[in-house]
């Protein structure tokens, strides 16, 4: 499974847009890019997934360039409740047999 590299931590203020970039230089053709969010004392929670270009849902946007060697999770107008650890994962999808490979994640701290 492709290894991912992302910032260890980021700080932001409420109302700002936060972009977290993940590098995955060895991504395979059939790999998807998935982001999970984890709050303290909770399990990880799926945020968004994409294969190429741009994906948007009610929580975030995911930007993936043509070479797919990196991706950027964009959180619009963050609030204090967005303080969490964000994990970028890469692997095949829709196989039913995917074990998630977590890296160190990016610890986002949102301040007033």
Partner 1 sequence: EAGVTQFPSHSVIEKGQTVTLRCDPISGHDNLYWYRRVMGKEIKFLLHFVKESKQDESGMPNNRFLAERTGGTYSTLKVQPAELEDSGVYFCASSQVDGTTTDEQFFGPGTRLTVL
Binding site for partner 1 (CB under 8 A): 32, 34, 41-46, 49, 87, 93-105
Q: Are 57 and 43 in contact (CB under 8 A)?
A: no
When the beta carbons of 16 and 49 are compared against partner 1, the nearer one is 49
Q: Are 109 and 12 in contact (CB under 8 A)?
A: yes
When the beta carbons of 100 and 109 are compared against partner 1, the nearer one is 100
Q: Which residue has the tokens 């993936």?
A: 64
Interatomic CA distance for residues 56 and 74, integer angstroms: 9
When the beta carbons of 34 and 71 are compared against partner 1, the nearer one is 34
Q: How far is the CB of 43 from partner 1 (least distance, A)?
A: 3
Q: How far is the CB of 62 from partner 1 (least distance, A)?
A: 12
N-to-C CA span, the chain: 38
């Amino acid at each position: 499974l492709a290894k991912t590299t992302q910032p260890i931590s980021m700080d932001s203020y409420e109302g700002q847009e936060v972009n977290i970039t993940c590098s995955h230089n060895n991504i395979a053709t059939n790999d998807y890019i998935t982001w999970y969010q984890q709050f303290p004392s909770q399990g990880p929670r799926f945020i968004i997934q994409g294969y190429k270009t741009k994906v948007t849902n009610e929580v975030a946007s995911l930007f993936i360039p043509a070479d797919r060697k990196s991706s950027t999770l964009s959180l619009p107008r963050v609030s204090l409740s967005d303080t969490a650890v964000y994990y970028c994962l890469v692997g095949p999808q829709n196989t039913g047999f995917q074990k998630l490979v977590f890296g160190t994640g990016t610890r986002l701290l949102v301040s007033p």
